[in-house]
Chain A
Amino acid sequence: MRSAEQFSEHVAVIVEGRSLYYWQLREIALRIAATIQNHVVHQKHLGPALVAVFAHRSATAFASVLGSLLAGAGYVPLNRTFPVTRTRLMFERSRCHTIIVDRESLPQLNALLDGEERQLLVIAPDLKGAQWYRRQWPRHVFISAGELESSAAWCEPIENPHAIAYLLFTSGSTGIPKGVMVAHRNVTSFVNYMIDRLQVTERDVVSQMFDLTFDLSAFDMFVAWERGACLCCPSKKASINPGKFIQEQKLTIWFSVPSTVTLMKQLGLLKPDRFPSLRLSLFCGEPLPIGCAELWSKAAPNSVLENLYGPTELTIACTGYRWHSQGSVEESEAEIVPIGYAFPGMNVLVVDESLHEVEPGEQGELLMNGPQMSLGYWQDTERTSSAFVVPPGRAEIFYRTGDRVRRPVGDGPLTHLGRMDFQVKILGHRVELGEVEAVVRQASGMDGVVAVGWPVSASGYGGIEVFIEGGAVDVDRCQDLIASRLPDYMVPRRWHVMSRLPRNANGKFDRDAMLTMLGGGR
């Protein structure tokens, strides 16, 4: 809000090919906020505690996030590119009574409202008239574009740092999405540190590659807007060629998952000196192969490159590593860039199975706590208490990340070694799939490598199969190379070379889809 006044004539976001100035974004957001507030006060409606934002890559999407927060509510992002049954499940679980829908998500609204027993406030800022919907769904209140309150009616809500800023559903291993409750104080702590660390200014042009349902989008919005920078959202067409997008928009800050780099590399878009406008390149969400970091550094010669790490439960990112052309390769392990050092105030504990700290140099599960530790899972005390634990001999709660890291020796960086649950038993041997992937990555020269245990056997798995993204891979040569470096049971039995590996909604490699291709899957 301060930014909106200070930078009112600057562009806040470019979306759908249109530039929205800070004053414009503020105006729409305030009208939405005032509408929510008015409804709550006058209709004695339940809560504004949470507002669902059913919008995707539109001006309304961004204004709705801000509008919800300005109304004193947390936002729950919903995504029309997800199957509508999943969206429904999230919407029902969130127990929101207010939903904001953008133009392109409207066609799914009927499916969402069908059989809905709550009385809802439906705000459709892109809808000309809501008569049809009112007739169709008399139970709910509909507000169309012309019926939004004026921004003057908005009252500043009382700040509560412990209230939920956003509720984000992540996939649970049981198939039922878990809602992570991230508080205002978590986000504030993260954003304040990041704008300082990255020295973001109003001259920055920041990429917006993440859907709202991926928490890394919170970095894009709040870090950029806190300092008056411009957020740049690629159109559907521009997203085909991220290289052209960076060049044409003269982006200064790039933030994506490493899979995007793998894809760009494969498409031949990462030639030296292609992206001189970038001053900062950030990667998060999955392991960053050193090959990608090296190539990207050459393509963006003026850019600092950072690998960030953080589960949704620890608010966006909580450790970071700055890549250096010298020294970083030595500090990396298993061909993966280190995740680096904990952000200020965040504490690290690397533990064994009994949650006791391991010795420096040993590996174990990463536990963290600090100002970015979220409130836990929405209406799920059971899963909250199994992931947020007090380790023996400690007095504080830590979050169990499920990530396997090596405890640094001295002041070295943390290195990420894989997921705890990617440790599988093959014919009685304990195998780290990450290790197999690292060796295959080296042997094949390809970055997009996923190893899976297959087929399922009584004691674990019968063997390992590997998926590689890329064109020409000399499988026989790789197989020989690997057989000389790994014990038999770790050598992949079958190789699946594909032009593109399946990815999930967040652009990460989708292991379940690969297992399904083998005839299994969860």
Chain B
Amino acid sequence: MSSPTPDHIRIFVAGFVNQRLKERARDPINNLPDDYDLLLSGSLDSLTFVEMLTALGEHFDWEVNFEDLDPEKFTVIGPLCAFVSEQLRERLALTK
């Protein structure tokens, strides 16, 4: 089994964000560039952001360690997807 790539993560995040935007009757976003900031763009607020991470954790069976979370980086799509993907890959390597 191979671990999810950053693009897998991105697709999931985009789905989550668009669902939230739809609930607030706002237009969906078609693509999420690497430098897209989920929080500062107003797509998510701090609570829905945490919710998104929890959902991400549940979906990919990833144990989110919020304590190490650097808010400055974590809300930007590129670093977020890379980080999550990297963590999942490491864990898969360990369990092998």
Contact = CB atoms under 8 A, between A and B. Distances in A.
Given A267-B50, A499-B58, A500-B54, A236 B40 contact: yes
B26 to A, nearest CB: 13
A503 B58 CA distance: 22
Contacts of B66: 241, 243, 267-269
Given A267-B66, A499-B51, A241 B71 contact: yes
B1 interface: no
A503 B47 contact: yes
Contact of B71 (A240, A271, A503): A240
A266 to B, nearest CB: 8
A2 interface: no
Contact of A500 (B39, B50, B58, B67): B50
B54 A240 contact: no
Contacts of B55: 499
A238 interface: yes
A240 B70 CA distance: 9
A237 interface: yes
A503 B47 CA distance: 9
B67 A243 contact: yes
Contact of B69 (A239, A240, A500): A240
B75 interface: yes
Contact of B67 (A263, A271, A471): A271
Nearest to A263: B50
A164 B76 CA distance: 44
Contact of A241 (B40, B54, B69): B69
Given A238-B71, A239-B46, A268-B65, A499 B54 contact: yes
B72 interface: yes
B74 interface: yes
Nearest to B40: A236
Interface string A231-252: 0000011111101100000000
Given A499-B54, A499-B58, A500-B54, A240 B67 contact: no
Interface of B: 39-40, 46-47, 49-51, 54-55, 58, 64-67, 69-72, 74-75
8 contacts: A236-B39, A236-B40, A237-B46, A240-B49, A241-B67, A269-B66, A499-B54, A500-B47
Interface of A: 236-241, 243-244, 263, 267-269, 271, 471, 499-500, 503
